[in-house]
Chains A and B, each alone.
Chain A
């Protein structure tokens, strides 16, 4: 039939031998097609794809002037290119061609001839209607970058990388683990030749390391992939190794001092390794790596960032000196801190989920006290900077700053107004909590370190200090003044502020009290004052607090101890006035309160009850309701807050004056000792940066991730060790310290309770050992961006978890091991140095090897894992060779289809290995006869004999299935690979394109696309490299011009398409206010076409008009 629109269509129906013609009446289809609009010729032919077949088409184009061609034959995957080229050779644009699939979609899936023929007609009609609307198009030619990415450093990835690199291409080899080598590195021997795996693998690994064209990115993972073939952009996360690969010499001294042991995954948990480790001696790169799962929660909970897990781990190993050194580096007064800290670390301790938190504070005290006794002497720290620093105030903040700076090589002078150093620790904390002798010893140690402490020195000007030559000043003068009550009678004799009272007691000017003492306030200072008053002989001590116990700011345990010591509490009571005669206190008049609505602090506001006044006869009133700074002349030099505290930048602690920093109570108002330590260290960092001319802020806000808690189920509950305490009746008679120090054995036992959340304890022992200076515990993950032309995925496999088949006893019965464990057990550098031993340490007399564990099983994996038979034979040989044991292979079928494989099987038969045809039903340790006593019994049917057998053995080796590697689904998503849930990656064609994928330029090799042995993996690695090379050597890739196109005239500029494009191929033209497709980036996925609300985005070759025409043709 003809038409008036100039369309001249030729339709060609292929018989495909009998593939199509046997089911489809091709002549009927041809007759039908001849009637369609625009069709000028229809022909059928036995093999349209053959040369003569193609020639028919070419001839018709030339002679009949065809301008559209339809071929009804097989899938376009097979021959679309063939016919397109034929069209082009006859002078027709290759895109004026359409294919109708009447084989895969029709003849192969239908039985009824009439129905199949009708369907074929519909498909042809659709193709004819569609091709009507085709437009000539020009293929895109895109340059291909000469760099390649190989993901996975197992044998397949290594092979691919080496081939590419040898061909002169730059290769990025990304490996998730700290070393390349993959599973093969764990193997002892390889089947069937029994050559040593390491001997053939390590030379290749070394070649990778040495190859100038290979950049090895170990301990790294691909984060994101974008772009198309020829120009992929890949983001690679380089996980922090905490060790400089370049500097590390691999000497291993670090691992010798590392206190932390964890199961060794390279040894399949048969052995242990340190937190700093190298998987195996020939690892590439040879650098060590630190297994740090983040910052331990306890350290993260410590305001001063003390290396808690570090000293706990060292204490557990009785390495007290190292633990103390670590603490002393962190804190200036660790013994004092171990006594007075409110230990927020223990609140964060994950052990509390199991039983009770580790007694971190008590351990700190123990090891610091131990150090005061055993390590009092120290060499002064070397001074490396010529720029002296002044610290005003010798409280915890000032000393922490001085300690930190001294360790960083600065000469520090601490100025103290009082006769003795220590600040609130000395004058504010009673001796029953912190004996002064401890403080004196710790201060003496600090002075020996080289910190100069000048007491009786009042500093009135930071400017003057700087003029004297101090290049930086830290102000930490605290909040030493008590806040006034602001009620009548405060001037009477017998009214003394809590801080002053405590100071007087410490200096000895007050040593006795009589009558009733009223302490006003509910904070820790009030508790200290009340408990001190009890010890000075007061008849009665009453704490007057205007809210209830629940609102008290003092720590619970302080209140409880005060109560135990006989302190009385008057809750919901507020002082109104103090009355007395002759200027001496006689009574305190109070008013009852009730709790109202919450105030700004979240606590309920006390409200006075009218008419509830009452008088308390007292001899002494001690207000403890807050503290204020006492800055004197310094106040005039610096900007202050409305509360009279120094105004600072919260991140850097810099004041309004350059080079002057402030921290501690003078900035925050009264806070805890550990907060003051934290402020001092924070200021020291700022001062160090300031003096070195560095940015004060850079990188300081970033907090390292917190380690995830470990599996609590792995640990048995064990109660926390408690130090000895003075009984309450003995406490009130003296200022003797209440809480004792742990004994050595107690401390070691308590430290062993630590769950080691971070794995690496950050004890920094390795840092001191490393002569190369390669270790940096502050390293961060890095993101590398690379551009490559092609990608090869070789992510390998993992072993099926045999504990899922409970009846085989893995993880439940001793001496039931899996294949990789056996590899390590028999490996010369494995946990037993190659000796084949049971867990009892004896060589086995009988061993069973169970094949098909999780393979060929509808409950787990239906597929045959292909390598298990052969490695099981290898195991049988090795067992026989090393121990002479009886070996039973329990198999369903022995599959040995490879070069030399069947011969190897025969060799094993000659070696006397028993082959029992039958799958093991179960492995049990329940004996039914004396011979089975103490053995593992494998129950199976010997199907060749037709009897059930119970085979007693000493060791059972399971040969588990191979599964896609951990995270394979994630890899598939990132690289747009096809794979069903939990299955191996899909190749483009199982026979003809085994290493190509549906994504152009992305290839797969090795066991990631299916269970595979070493020779096949190597072959695939090389094959993938060849495919990638073909693209890169040609330098250009021809792409279908099926890109999206936006009609600029009608685009509303809504940008919906830009957000929807997975390849970032659409940009916004700000001058014209329209979206524009960058053709070279567009992959033709069509997402934007569907997303465009205006319907002005179309995809070439898949235009709406073409698709609708095809549908109409099929449905007419």
Chain B
């Protein structure tokens, strides 16, 4: 059974969500389940979006943080578009991911590992590079599985579907400058 945690972190979490545009609308959640029934990833999540909101409001943080749920969000925005309470739940998901990363709460979670690897590759090259991304991902999660993927990788390389060398965009410095202008905690 879950435990109720009224820790400092729970408070920070709620405050961060409230600061999102329309973030306070999670207080108006009807618990109608439109989000969960609309979510293409809900089947793989331990807790659907509706339950995450309920847990967030109740301060039961182990159902919110460090679960697969937030990392499985594919940003399709179906929940946000359909929510009768107008809750920007996809944005809430992002906020939770950010906070988990910031507070170092992410433990062995493949979703988080993938997200981090992706961010690093884009940071370095200005765009995605599949071999590098997957190498990073498998090294951090399960290096043995990388071997299993090898035949597929070779086929892709053979057909020219994947480039062995990571390509960097033309003016990576300009992109870095742009990224640098975004403050660490960018929501007003």
Residues of A within 8 A of B (CB): 807, 852, 856-859, 892-893, 917-922, 939-943, 946, 948-949
Contacts and interface: CB of A to CB of B under 8 A. Distances in A.
Contact of B42 (A856, A917, A922, A948): A948
30 contacts: A852-B84, A856-B30, A857-B84, A858-B25, A858-B84, A858-B86, A859-B86, A892-B32, A918-B33, A918-B34, A918-B37, A919-B30, A919-B32, A919-B33, A920-B34, A920-B37, A921-B37, A921-B82, A922-B37, A922-B38, A939-B37, A940-B34, A940-B37, A941-B34, A941-B48, A942-B33, A943-B31, A943-B33, A948-B42, A948-B48
Contact of B38 (A852, A856, A893, A921): A921
B32 A943 contact: yes
The B interface, classified by DSSP as helix, strand, loop or mixed, is helix
B72 to A, nearest CB: 14
Contacts of B33: 917-919, 921, 940-943
Contacts of A852: 32, 84
Nearest to B42: A948
B44 to A, nearest CB: 12
Given A892-B30, A946-B48, A941 B36 contact: yes
A849 to B, nearest CB: 15
B129 interface: no
A893 B31 CA distance: 10
B164 interface: no
A290 to B, nearest CB: 44
Contacts of A859: 84, 86
B20 interface: no
Contacts of B42: 948
Nearest to B28: A858
Nearest to A858: B86
B51 interface: yes
A771 to B, nearest CB: 57
Instruction: Point out which of B31, B33, B36, B51 has the most chain A C-beta atoms below 10 A from its C-beta.
Output: B33
Nearest to A855: B84
A852 B85 CA distance: 12
B43 interface: yes
A191 B11 CA distance: 47
B67 to A, nearest CB: 14
A811 to B, nearest CB: 19
Contacts of B37: 918, 920-922, 939-941, 948-949
B43 A919 contact: no
Contacts of B82: 807, 921
Contacts of A892: 30-32
Nearest to B51: A946
B136 interface: no
Chain B's interface size range is 10 to 19
Contacts of B38: 921-922, 939
A561 B30 CA distance: 75
Contact of B84 (A919, A941, A946): A919
A946 B31 CA distance: 11
Given A918-B33, A919-B84, A921-B38, 17 more contacts: A856-B84, A857-B84, A892-B32, A918-B32, A918-B34, A918-B37, A919-B32, A919-B33, A920-B34, A921-B33, A921-B34, A922-B37, A922-B38, A941-B33, A941-B48, A942-B33, A948-B43
A708 to B, nearest CB: 36
Contact of A919 (B34, B51, B86): B34
Interface in B42-63: 42-43, 48, 50-51
A355 B25 CA distance: 52
A921 B33 CA distance: 8
Interface string B135-162: 0000000000000000000000000000
A918 B48 CA distance: 13
A858 B81 CA distance: 11
Contacts of A919: 30, 32-34, 84
Contacts of A856: 30, 84
Nearest to A891: B32
A852 B33 CA distance: 13
A919 B36 CA distance: 10
Contacts of B85: 858
A800 to B, nearest CB: 13
Instruction: Point out which of B32, B38, B48, B85 has the most chain A C-beta atoms below 10 A from its C-beta.
Output: B32
A481 B21 CA distance: 87
A856 B30 CA distance: 9
A858 B31 CA distance: 14
Contacts of B48: 941, 946, 948
A949 to B, nearest CB: 8
A339 to B, nearest CB: 62
A754 to B, nearest CB: 43
A948 B32 CA distance: 12
A362 to B, nearest CB: 53
Contacts of A940: 33-34, 37
B37 to A, nearest CB: 4
A463 B79 CA distance: 90
Nearest to A857: B84
A807 B82 CA distance: 9
A541 to B, nearest CB: 74
A919 B29 CA distance: 12
A949 B42 CA distance: 12
Interface in B121-139: none
A864 B102 CA distance: 41
A941 B35 CA distance: 8
Top 8 nearest A-B pairs by Cβ distance? A941-B33, A921-B37, A857-B84, A919-B32, A858-B86, A918-B33, A941-B37, A941-B36
A1 B8 CA distance: 59
A941 B43 contact: no
Nearest to B82: A921
B52 to A, nearest CB: 12
Contacts of B34: 918-921, 940-941
B50 A943 contact: yes
Contacts of B86: 858-859
A178 B38 CA distance: 44
A952 to B, nearest CB: 15
A691 to B, nearest CB: 72
Contacts of A939: 37-38
Contacts of B50: 941, 943
B106 to A, nearest CB: 25
Nearest to A807: B82
A918 B33 CA distance: 5
B26 to A, nearest CB: 13
A822 B105 CA distance: 53
A729 to B, nearest CB: 67
A941 to B, nearest CB: 3
B123 to A, nearest CB: 37
Contact of B36 (A893, A922, A948): A948
Nearest to B30: A892
Interface string B77-99: 00000101110000000000000
Contacts of A922: 37-38
B20 to A, nearest CB: 16
B80 to A, nearest CB: 11
A948 B48 CA distance: 9
A1068 to B, nearest CB: 56
Contacts of B84: 852, 856-859, 919
B36 to A, nearest CB: 4
Contacts of A917: 33
Instruction: Point out which of B25, B34, B36 has the most chain A C-beta atoms below 10 A from its C-beta.
Output: B34
Contacts of B36: 941, 943, 948
A710 to B, nearest CB: 34
A646 B31 CA distance: 85
B141 to A, nearest CB: 28
A864 to B, nearest CB: 11
B144 to A, nearest CB: 34
A1050 B50 CA distance: 72
Nearest to B85: A858
Nearest to A851: B32
